[in-house]
Structure 1
């Protein structure tokens, strides 16, 4: 859906872009891909990146004349951006975090992206909007200043995560520093026209934190690309295994939730689960089980299989062959939904969601997926249901077409006309 009011041109500001990968480049790689099919040109101002990450979405954006990349210097030493995080890279990163880059690695990028945006705004055809996607949050203050210089251009901040997730890492225990960052965020939001977030929870929290910007907030969900899952055909959806795939970083809170699941499995002690239920972790993190009881360590050996991170196309095939997708969510991050949830749905997997109740988890539960909080007493009934519903006799319905990227692209274009 394309409005006649639109010029069909977007200027995107994103510190990370192909060939840099990670989940931070996925959202707008997908949007740019589907916007191009609506005739919309996306010009991307990004930081140059001297490596090529193994997990990337370059296939969605390369070779497309409607997606134009403008790379600038990053303002951060290239050798410290090496995806191989050896001792020297970690030490150098910590040093800069304590000195010149206390916010994030993009803190020196502002002058470069602002200069590139000015040239594009003044020398080319008009844009429908200039959109900054964050993190990296240090780009917010210069973006707000840029918006003030172009009152006739629509400026939008697109949050993949709220800055509040990262404030403890920046401010440590110093509330004055956290207050400083919040003030910078407030000033930037005052200068822009719209603020996009990915969930209702995030919108409500930011409306509370920044009531003066309440009318600017819009929800533009994350979602799945149906073209990534061509193998999710009806005949392949009847999966009799009990493999639960869990890709992603295994931070401490997620490990705690996994351990709680292991304790619940020990309590249930169901023969079907004992013999067949297995969690397949795809992560670069090796779980540190020091400090946990011996029974948990034994349960980990029985129920968990550890794998290296794989490219998106490989993960899509793995999900298509696995019955479950496992989400280990954390209460501290309840304002967003792990993007893997949408891939699980696209692959025809049943979702096992363990974490705080959210808008999306409630929708999942209504459609027959498995949801529980991260407590043993809550997980035990869930595990009994898993065992009772094995083997699977019917494929799950595609009950969430609204989370497909083509549908979300229509929503994006509608927001540009408001």
Structure 2
């Protein structure tokens, strides 16, 4: 008889972006390990981005429970739909309008821990029958939004016989954007109190990065398991240099604070210093990009080298990765972002194209890239080293030998392998 697992996730197809991928894939592979999977999702969500292509990846042997949700973003959207969507995506101009600042303050101080906190009561009602029939099931909550963990907290109180695993795809109170929410002292303390309560009550914590693991181990004695994100695409089998221009591609959201001026400045200089570089260069951005980033690109005279693709489906994004000469991974230069392991990095690995990553010194992404021999990492002060690497890759491109990486070190990040770790983790909490 298969063992029941109840996964509570705000993000589910047709939601786009990396947040949906993690538990979509775990739900796909958990049945292979003897688990019967039920997923609780919102019935009428207001997702910031949509990717209809992901619907075809929903496993047929997974049961779905839908619970209604009241989204404050719908009401805010009546004031300004574009601004509200940008706020949901994390795109806020450095020179924000009064309305944008007001929405941010409201989000930070009146909706704690986040704007989906009202979903809890609907979920509790929706899962009553399931839990009455499966009082000794495994419940997994995944955040952000971290309000989902408050559902797990309540369920653990109501049904003590369950085992609750709280999955943190990102940190909670130390995540970089918290300082942008204009939190008052009362709101900050409430966040910290709720976080501590979740950390102390869950039977086990799952984190996606070593930094977050160390942070939580300093806050609680509860057991903790590191399970990174991964990839579920067929790795690129064509390692030969792609045709076309010298394409540097970034896939994913580019926030204003993530503006890599070091990179733009380096490219501007190389356009002047190396004959033919300007004509060969193409900078591709796929995803939601802030206007501040576009202004910065224009400032460095790179707009005529830019192909701004906008948001692409998952399949289209993979195709773009496979055809790029170089893949760009850019993280904010701050202490808070050292723990961030963007979901796209694992599909970058599977694309087998060379990676250039920029981030804070000591970031977890540096260790990951080094361990897989998949590219080079630079902090935001290493301009000369960054330029040298771009020149090296450009020289390979001109010779027609900018080939991909053939090593098998990336296989540990296959979703099927990571699900094996998850299955053993579930077994552990029941021992």
* TM-score normalised by the chain length of structure 1: 0.85
> In the TM superposition, what are the counterparts of 1:134-149 in structure 2 within 5 Å?
134-149=143-158
Equivalent residue in structure 2 for 1:372, among 368, 378, 390: 378
Q: Does 1:238 align with 2:241?
A: yes
SS at match of 1:392: coil
Q: Which residue of 2 aligns with 1:160?
A: 169
> In the TM superposition, what are the counterparts of 1:15-414 in structure 2 within 5 Å?
15-49=10-44, 54-55=50-51, 57-61=54-58, 64=60, 66-76=61-71, 79-80=74-75, 85-86=81-82, 94=103, 97=107, 101-124=111-134, 126-127=136-137, 129-163=138-172, 164-165=174-175, 166-170=177-181, 172=182, 174-208=184-218, 210=219, 212-213=220-221, 215-227=222-234, 232-234=236-238, 237-239=240-242, 241-255=245-259, 257=260, 259-268=261-270, 269-271=273-275, 273-288=277-292, 297-330=299-332, 331=334, 332-356=336-360, 357-365=362-370, 367=373, 369-375=375-381, 376-390=383-397, 391-392=400-401, 394-397=403-406, 398-414=408-424
Partners of 2:263 and 2:84 lie apart in 1 by 37
Unaligned runs of 5+ in 2: 88-98
2:205–2:224 CA contact under 8 A, matched in 1: yes
Offset of 1:108 from its aligned partner? 0.6
Partners of 1:359 and 1:149 lie apart in 2 by 37
2:5–2:140 CA contact under 8 A, matched in 1: yes
**1:103-147 Cα distance to aligned partner (Å, 9 max, x none):** 3221111111122233211124742x1000001112333421321
Offset of 1:416 from its aligned partner? 0.9
Partners of 1:49 and 1:237 lie apart in 2 by 45
Partners of 2:109 and 2:293 lie apart in 1 by 34
2:265–2:300 CA contact under 8 A, matched in 1: no
Partners of 1:353 and 1:117 lie apart in 2 by 43
Offset of 1:12 from its aligned partner? 0.5
Partners of 2:328 and 2:241 lie apart in 1 by 18
Q: CA RMSD in A?
A: 3.0
Partners of 1:204 and 1:272 lie apart in 2 by 47
Partners of 1:50 and 1:138 lie apart in 2 by 15
2:2–2:34 CA contact under 8 A, matched in 1: no
Partners of 1:142 and 1:149 lie apart in 2 by 11
* TM-score normalised by the chain length of structure 2: 0.82
Partners of 1:274 and 1:87 lie apart in 2 by 35
Partners of 1:396 and 1:138 lie apart in 2 by 40
1:220–1:411 CA contact under 8 A, matched in 2: yes
Offset of 1:21 from its aligned partner? 3.0
SS at match of 2:127: helix
Offset of 1:307 from its aligned partner? 1.2
How many residues in Structure 1 have an aligned counterpart in Structure 2? 398
